[in-house]
Amino acid sequence: HWAGRQGYRVHTAASTDEARSVVAEKAIDLALLDIRLPDGDGIELAESLIQADPERPIILMTAFADLDSARKAIRIGAFEFFAKPLSFESLEASVASALKHRDHLIENRRRRTSELEEMNDDLSREIRQRREGERVLAAQTRSLSEANDHLQQKDRLLTAYQGIAKIALS
């Protein structure tokens, strides 16, 4: 088996149900599917596998190639579409390319996740700084309000003393 010689672990399935079971039980990095399966449509299976893991490349093949099938394969996001018979060299190159593409997608996701985590940390730090600034501003506002109240009391006393002084002088 050429895939085993290349170092790939291969899991086979003869039907859509069996394929779903394999995918549910195993870590599947790539799926090679026939469009016509005994119990279902390989394109529908491919679409559900892509939805479950958009980074997992799907290679579709069929002995009954038609333009409609090729369009559907492209629409759902299949990595490649082959008409049988296909050469092992083409398939091998496609599998290698698909797995490299998967690695690239995973690395991009990790990088974006790391960037988002950094941005989140920066925003959290900024929020903490703003909250601390708001706390300090609220304390200063209270202090100024108390000082203003104290000055108003003194102003009322001064006005009262001035009134008493005018009465006393008159």
Q: What is the pTM for the complete model shown?
A: 0.69
Is 164 buried (19+), middle (13-18) or exposed (0-12) by CB count in 10 A?
Answer: exposed
Q: With 80 as the cut, is the pLDDT of residue 49 above it?
A: yes
Phi–psi pair at 82, nearest 5 degrees: -115, 145
Q: With 70 as the cut, is the pLDDT of residue 91 above it?
A: yes
Q: With 70 as the cut, is the pLDDT of residue 5 above it?
A: no
Q: How far apart are CA 16 and CA 5, in angstroms?
A: 26
Q: How far apart are CA 18 and CA 128, in angstroms?
A: 52
Predicted confidence at residue 48, as pLDDT, reads 94
The pair of structure tokens assigned to 89 is 């060299």
Structure confidence by residue, pLDDT tens digits, 105-163: 999 999 999 999 999 999 999 999 999 999 999 999 999 999 999 999 999 999 999 99
Predicted confidence at residue 86, as pLDDT, reads 85
Identity at 24, one-letter amino acid code: A
**Sequence-ordered list of residues with C-beta below 8 angstroms from that of 46, at least 6 positions apart, any chain:** 31, 33, 58, 60, 73, 76, 78
